[in-house]
Amino acid sequence: MKLRLGRLLVFILPVLGGICLLSPEVSAQKIVIVTADTLTSTQRSVSGVKSVIRSSNPNTQFIEILLNVADMQSGHLRDSIRVIHPNLLVTTGTDATQFAKANFADIPIVFSSVMYPVVSGFVETFNRPGGNVTGASLSIPPRTQFEYFKTIIPNLKTIGVLYSANTASMIPPAQVVARSCGLELVALRVDSEKDLAARMDSITKVAQGLWSLADPTLFTPQSTKYILINALRRGTPFMGFSRILVESGALFALDFDYKAVGRQAGEIACQILKGAHPANISVTTPDIVWFHYNEKTAQHMAIKMPDSLVAIAKEVYR
């Protein structure tokens, strides 16, 4: 059940997995699931979470709450959730996780489908989250991304990446990983859209390929279009951070199965319901990765996509 909370009155109707009557002796555990949108990806993530928890905790009560901007700025929602006395909060996406972390330091929180949980300030590190928050991220390890890039461009030695202050902390670790893969990662910071043309010109002169980070500060609609067009014009293979960029002209991208990420979050939730502390449960990275590529872009750059990748491609854009 999903609830959108009004200004003054909140109706809370616990939903069980199907219709289940509990005997007075059984105390059902309560999980509040907080989302901030109704996107298909969010719904798939929630479905994955619930399927895993139900399999080992069939009597669990799920209370689903859909946030809106007014809810996030109001104390009514926080107080209404506290009335439920949940054993656990499950959040999907950055906005819902931000709300939960800001308001419930005393309740375990498991997030699903968050891209950069360390950069967002939700956890200290992937291996040691700290505090009361952990979960299943959308962060595909740089090593995995670089290995795909090298498979497509076998003679790849230098890759470039543009970044902003928002993602600056991710660059040094990525450079270490790149070196271990036999690559040099050249990183140029973009502080405003006025810097983009010069930075793009500089990086395409030294890099054989471009890597990207899901940086909303940098990848505005206008700058994204500029980067894609100029990568194509200069014949520089561009790895997008999303299949949406591949559809728009990037050479390839790795994407996620949101339901599988939800299942990872569900497994973490089950550990916590059995007594584990969030601080001691590592944040997961996607265990199922989809490969997408743009055939037209590959042909334009005279790149023959390896048969091994063509065979497993989730989607080919032509």
Q: Please report the domains of the chain, with CATH numbers, ordered by start residue.
A: 2-139+259-280 (3.40.50.2300), 142-255+289-317 (3.40.50.2300)
Q: Is 5 helix (H, G, I), strand (E, B) or coil?
A: coil
Predicted confidence (pLDDT) at residue 208 exceeds the cutoff of 50: yes
* 222 vs 236: CA distance, rounded Å: 19
Predicted confidence (pLDDT) at residue 5 exceeds the cutoff of 50: no
What's the rounded mean pLDDT across residues 151-179? Answer: 97
Write the pLDDT tens digit of every residue in 114-135: 999 999 999 999 999 999 999 9
Write the pLDDT tens digit of every residue in 254-306: 999 999 999 999 999 999 999 999 999 999 999 999 999 999 999 999 999 99
Give the residue with greater pLDDT, 11 vs 72: 72
Q: Is 130 helix (H, G, I), strand (E, B) or coil?
A: coil
Q: pTM for the complete prediction?
A: 0.87
Judge contact between 138 and 286, C-beta under 8 A.
yes
What's the rounded mean pLDDT across residues 134-146? Answer: 97
Segment holding 165, helix H or strand E: none
Q: Is 114 helix (H, G, I), strand (E, B) or coil?
A: strand
* 262 vs 52: CA distance, rounded Å: 9
Helices (H), 21-93: 40-56, 69-72, 75-84
What's the rounded mean pLDDT across residues 98-124? Answer: 96
> Hey, which residues does 256 pair with through a beta bridge?
289
Q: How confident is residue 27, by pLDDT bands cut at 50, 70 and 90?
A: low
* 288 vs 148: CA distance, rounded Å: 14
Q: Is 163 helix (H, G, I), strand (E, B) or coil?
A: strand
> Hey, which residues does 187 pair with through a beta bridge?
161
pLDDT score for 63: 97
What's the rounded mean pLDDT across residues 169-198? Answer: 96
Q: For 5-9, 65-69, 160-164, which range has the lowest pLDDT when averaged over its residues?
A: 5-9
Report the candidate in 237, 241, 261 with the shortest Cα–Cα distance to residue 251: 237
Segment holding 220, helix H or strand E: none
Q: Provide CB contacts within 8 A for 102, sequence distance 6+.
A: none
In b/e form, how buried is each residue of 87-124, taking b as 16+ CB within 10 angstroms? bbbbbbbbbbbbbbbebbeebbbbbbbbbbbbbbebbe
CA distances from residue 38 to 14, 50, 122 in whole angstroms, order as listed = 19, 16, 22
Predicted confidence (pLDDT) at residue 309 exceeds the cutoff of 50: yes
Write the pLDDT tens digit of every residue in 32-81: 999 999 999 999 999 999 999 999 999 999 999 999 877 777 788 999 99
Predicted confidence (pLDDT) at residue 22 exceeds the cutoff of 50: no
Structure tokens at 36: 């901030």
Judge contact between 139 and 163, C-beta under 8 A.
no
% of the chain with per-residue pLDDT over 70: 91
In b/e form, how buried is each residue of 160-187, taking b as 16+ CB within 10 angstroms? bbbbbeebeebbeebbebbeebebebbb
Judge contact between 290 and 138, C-beta under 8 A.
no
Report the candidate in 210, 217, 201 with the shortest Cα–Cα distance to residue 167: 217
What does pLDDT average to over the chain? 91
Most confident option among 11-20, 66-75, 208-217: 208-217
* 82 vs 5: CA distance, rounded Å: 14
CA distances from residue 96 to 65, 110, 213, 214 in whole angstroms, order as listed = 10, 11, 22, 18
Predicted confidence (pLDDT) at residue 24 exceeds the cutoff of 60: no
pLDDT score for 19: 34
